[in-house]
Amino acid sequence: MATCMKMRGAAGQLHRNWASLMKLKCPGNSSSGISRTLWTDTPAPSRLQPPRFSSSSSLSSAMTAGCRLTVRPHRWMRVGAVLHGRTELLSANSPPYWVQDRMYGNRAGGAGFSGDGGDSTGSGGEESGGEGGVPYNAPQMTALTPMMVPEVFPNVPLIAVSRNPVFPRFIKIIEVKNKELMELLRRKVRLAQPYAGVFLKKDDSDESDVVESLDSIYSTGTFVQIHEMQDLGDKLRMIVMGHRRIRITKQLEVEPEEVEAAPVLSESETESQPKTTPRRRSKQNRKDPADPADPAAPAAEQVQEKISEADLTPELQPLSSSDILMVEVDNIQHEQFTVTEEVKAGQRVVDNPIYLSDMGAALTGAESQELQDVLEETNIPKRLYKALSLLKKEYELSKLQQRLGREVEDKIKQTHRKYLLQEQLKIIKKELGLEKEDKEAIEEKFRERLKERTVPQHIMDVINEELNKLGLLDNHSSEFNVTRNYLDWLTSMPWGTYSEENLSLATAKDVLEEDHYGMDDVKKRILEFIAVSQLRGSTQGKILCFYGPPGVGKTSIARSIARALNRQYYRFSVGGMTDVAEIKGHRRTYVGAMPGKIIQCLKKTKTENPLVLIDEVDKMGRGYQGDPSSALLELLDPEQNANFLDHYLDVPVDLSKILFICTANVIDTIPEPLRDRMEMINVSGYVAQEKLAIAEQYLVPQLRSQCGLTEEKVSISPDALSLLIRQYCRESGVRNLQKQVEKVFRKVAFSIVSGEQTMVTVTPDNLQLYVGKPIFTVDRMYDVTPPGVVMGLAWTSMGGTTLFIETSLRRPSDPKGEGSLELTGQLGDVMKESAKIATTFARAFLMNQEPENNFLVNSHLHLHVPEGATPKDGPSAGCTIVTALLSLATTQPVRQNVAMTGEVSLTGKILPVGGIKEKTIAARRAGVTCIILPEENKKDFSDLPDYISEGLEVHFVKHYNQIYPIAFPQDQS
Cα three-residue angle 948-919-516, rounded to 5 degrees: 55
Q: Was 800 annotated as part of a binding site? A: no
Give residue 822's pLDDT. Answer: 93
Instruction: Give me the count of residues in the chain.
Output: 973
Give the residue numbers annotated as catalytic, written as ranges: 876, 919
Give residue 93's pLDDT. Answer: 36
Q: Was 553 annotated as part of a binding site? A: yes
Distance CA 134, CA 108 (A): 8
Which positions of the chain have pLDDT values less than 50?
1-2, 14-78, 80-146, 255-256, 258-297, 312-320, 973
Q: For the chain, which residues make up each domain, given as ranges? A: 21-260+272-281+314-376, 438-492, 505-682, 688-771, 789-967
Give residue 263's pLDDT. Answer: 39
Q: Was 197 annotated as part of a binding site? A: no
Comparing CA positions, the residue from 880, 689, 914 lying closest to residue 797 is 914
The one-character DSSP state at 695 is I
- Radius of gyration (C-alpha) of the chain in whole angstroms: 51
Using an 8 Å Cβ cutoff, are 703 and 697 in contact?
no
Determine phi and psi for 900, rounding to 5 degrees.
Answer: -145, 160
Structural domain 505-682, CATH architecture = 3-Layer(aba) Sandwich (3.40)
Burial (Cβ within 10 Å: 0-12, 13-18, ≥19) of residue 664:
buried
Handedness of CA 941, 947, 948, 953 (dihedral sign): positive
Give residue 346's pLDDT. Answer: 52
Using an 8 Å Cβ cutoff, are 687 and 569 in contact?
no
Using an 8 Å Cβ cutoff, are 38 and 387 in contact?
no
Determine phi and psi for 301, rounding to 5 degrees.
Answer: -65, -40
Q: Was 554 annotated as part of a binding site? A: yes
Q: Was 549 annotated as part of a binding site? A: yes
Q: Was 551 annotated as part of a binding site? A: yes
Residue pLDDT, tens place only, 259-278: 443 333 334 343 434 444 44
Give residue 909's pLDDT. Answer: 95
Hey, what CATH topology would domain 688-771 get?
A: Helicase, Ruva Protein; domain 3 (1.10.8)
Give residue 208's pLDDT. Answer: 86
Helix (H, G, I), strand (E, B) or coil at 574: coil
Determine phi and psi for 839, rounding to 5 degrees.
Answer: -65, -45
Distance CA 15, CA 964 (A): 109
Just give the CATH number of 789-967. Answer: 3.30.230.10
Helices (H), 805-932: 829-849, 855-858, 878-890, 916-925
Q: Was 825 annotated as part of a binding site? A: no
Q: Was 626 annotated as part of a binding site? A: no
How many Cβ atoms are within 10 Å of 713's Cβ, its own excluded?
17
Q: Which amino acid is at 388?
A: L
How many Cβ atoms are within 10 Å of 930's Cβ, its own excluded?
17
Cis peptide before 867 (omega within 30 of 0): yes
